[in-house]
Amino acid sequence: MKEYLRCKVCNYIMDKEGSPDKCPACGVPETAFEDYKYNISNRRRIIMELDIHPIVLHFPQAISVLIPLLVILNYFTSPVLTGKLYSTIEVLGCILPVSVIAAIFTGIFDGHNRFRKTNTPHLIKKTILGSLLAIISFSIAALIIIRGLNNSVVEVAALSTTAVLLQIILARIGIKLMFAYTPGK
Inform me whether the pLDDT recorded for 1 exceeds 70.
Answer: no
For residues 22 and 79, state if they share a domain.
no
Number of domains forming the structure of the chain:
2
Q: Say yes or no to pLDDT of 15 above 80.
A: yes
Residue 113 dihedral angles phi and psi, to the nearest 5°: -65, -40
Decide if 44 contacts 35 (C-beta within 8 A). no
Gap between the Cα atoms of 98 and 159, Å rounded? 16
CB distance 74 to 124 below 8 Å = no
**184 in a structural domain:** no
Other beta carbons within 10 angstroms of residue 74's beta carbon come to 19
Residues 12 and 67 in one domain: no
Distance, CA of 51 to CA of 5 (rounded, Å) = 20
CA 102 – CA 169 distance, rounded (Å): 18
pLDDT at 73: 94
